[in-house]
Amino acid sequence: MNVNERDVDGVLVLELSGDMMGGPEAQALNERLRKLAEAGKKRVVIDLSGVKLINSSGLGLLIAGLTVVRNKGGDLRLASPSAKVEKLLEVTKLNKVFRSFPSADEAVQSFQTN
């Protein structure tokens, strides 16, 4: 799993690509999110367009990230999930926890409007 970090209008956009199947890099991402949240970066968009596979550990990573950011009063939103990820979010009903948008721009936009 690779992570590309960028800032769009004060919103932290993390582009993930590859497989989200847990592992040490997931741990590293979690740590990074925690540090950023502590530094005040509380508006986060996770762009999933490059994610091919996701399993329970990958979902766990998203939930952990969300918890970290929400505890700081921010939010973590998902952008461009694949049909499979969307299905998984639907089955697990985690779509009630995550706000998900068709594109990163829309996800960033959503922070500006509310």
Partner 1 sequence: MIVEELAAAVYLTAAFVVFFLGLAIYRHGPQRTLNRVAAWMLFFAALGATTGGLGLLSSPSVSGTVLAVRLASVWELFFPTLLTFSLLYPRKNPMLEAHPQLVLWIYFPYAFHLGLLLLVGHGTQFSFPNVSLDWARGVLIPVRIVWVLLTRAVEEFVRFHMRAFALVDLVYAGVALALLGRSFQSVADPQLSRQGRLVVAGLGVGVGAYALAFLVPRVVRVGVSPWFANALLLVALVFSTAALAWAIVRYQFLDVRAMARRGLVLSAASGLVAGLYLLTYTQVQRLSSSLLGFRAPVLEVFFVLVAVFLFQPLVQVLESSAERLFAREVLDLRTAFQKLSEDLVASFDLQELASKLRERLGNDLGFSKVELWVNEDDVLQRVGDEATLSDSQRERLARLELPILAAELNESKAETPRGNPDFPEEALLLPLRRGETFLGLLSVTPTPGNRWSSEELALMHTLAGQVAIAVENVRLHREQLARRRVEEELALARDIQRELLPARIPSSVSFEFAALTIPSREVGGDLYDFVEFSTTRIGVALGDVSGKGVPASLLMANILAAFRVLATPERSPAEVVSALNRQLARSTTPDRYATFVYGHLDADNLRFTYCNAGHNYPLIRWPDGSVRFLEHSDMVLGVLEDAGYSTWETELLPGSCLVLYTDGVTEAFNPEGEEYGEERLLELVAEWGGGSAAALRDRILEAIREFGAGRCDYDDVTMIIARVV
d(CA 23, CA 81): 21
Structure tokens, 2: 């690779």
Which residues contact partner 1 by CB under 8 A?
Answer: 22, 55-57, 59-61, 63-64, 66-67, 90-94, 96-97
Q: Minimum Å distance from CB 97 to partner 1?
A: 6
CB closer to partner 1 out of 8 and 97: 97
CB closer to partner 1 out of 69 and 108: 69
Structure tokens, 53: 């596979």
Q: Are 75 and 43 spatial neighbours (Cβ–Cβ below 8 Å)?
A: yes
